[in-house]
Amino acid sequence: MSLLKVDDLTVYYAGEQSPALKGASFELDHGRTLGVVGESGSGKTTVALALGGLLPSGAKMKASRIELGGHDLLDISKRKWLHLRRSEVAFVFQSPVDSWNPTRVLRVQVKDALQAAGRSDDYSRLVSVLQRVGIDDPDRALGSYPHQLSGGMLQRISIAVALVHEPALLIADEPTSALDSTVQAEILEILHELRTEANLSLVIISHDLSVVSRLADEVVVMYGGRVVERGETEDVLGLPVHPYTRGLLASVPKLEGETRTPLPAMAFGEIADQGCVFATRCDLREETCLRTDPLPIEHKSGFVACGPGMEKWSKERS
């Protein structure tokens, strides 16, 4: 049975005409990792916030179905969301420094979270989790103010606090983007190990393909608020079909061999109201792409929302 099931999720922010997220569908089984990739503005973070009931006030969320661990997440009360965030779903956000109140000692903030979950007695457990994620002196770290610690340490603490509730799902939104590269690697290593150790189900959101390819079992590629391609990581990132995914992979810098091909830059404000969202930047664009929304075409374990891309792919394979 799948842990997370999202069907046709659409989100509008207050005062916005076009949706931040349109018709996103994906699912995730227990103990698996889902990577969500896309550039900024693609709706990645909206996915994360929607799954925690953390969308800003005034945002509207519609879906034909969203379920997490047997809980229906559609139209539930604020109280129920709070309960879910205390038991089922936990978050790690992009900027570790901004994730903590600058004016309060970490210990009291951590205790707030434990207390909220009714687990004040878990403090000693937290200390061991902190040690597990590489905080050698938890007492000293927790006795500090956020500005006294490095980003890497704060992100470790964020991860430990997120995990101490033993949530069914951990959502990590760009967990390493604000860190320098050596610390990035360590944080990824921790997530990688915890995935197997704690049988963690993880949604990892990143613009960084190497992060996703390293951790994710399945990948969702987002562009302009839509899911354009979905499937097993090796399929999507190994033999991409959608022209956007191809472009994304081709633009990754390589140490040797051919130089990278940059994606054609996005013209300002160019997310079309109708037709394929990627059409304006696409080299496979056909007449119909500008007029009709591309339908998802089943492909291997997932789907691709691009007819011409699929054709090209088949031609290349044959």
Q: Which residues of this protein are in contact with another protein, per CB under 8 A? A: 52, 54, 78, 82, 85-86, 90-91, 93-95, 98-104, 109, 112-113, 116-117, 134-137, 140-141, 144-145, 147-150, 152-153, 158, 161-162, 165, 182-183, 186
Nearer CB in complex with another protein: 7/186: 186
Nearer CB in complex with another protein: 191/279: 191
Minimum CB–partner distance for residue 43 and another protein (Å): 17
3 state DSSP class of 122: helix
Question: What are residue 227's DSSP bridge partners?
Answer: 222
What are the backbone angles phi and psi of residue 150, rounded to the nearest 5°? -80, 160
Nearer CB in complex with another protein: 10/95: 95
Nearer CB in complex with another protein: 145/283: 145
Minimum CB–partner distance for residue 93 and another protein (Å): 6
For residues 275 and 291, the answer to whether their CB atoms sit within 8 Å is yes
- Paired tokens of 279: 């059409």
Minimum CB–partner distance for residue 96 and another protein (Å): 9
Spatial CB neighbours of 178, under 8 Å, sequence gap ≥ 6: 94, 95, 96, 97, 151
Nearer CB in complex with another protein: 168/248: 168
In angstroms, the Cα distances linking 306 to 119, 218, 230, 282, 294 are 48, 19, 12, 11, 6
Cα torsion 33, 177, 10, 167: sign? positive
Minimum CB–partner distance for residue 6 and another protein (Å): 18
Nearer CB in complex with another protein: 2/95: 95
Question: What are residue 204's DSSP bridge partners?
Answer: 35, 172
Minimum CB–partner distance for residue 33 and another protein (Å): 19
Minimum CB–partner distance for residue 52 and another protein (Å): 6
N-to-C CA span, the chain: 36
- Paired tokens of 250: 């081709």
For residues 229 and 172, the answer to whether their CB atoms sit within 8 Å is no
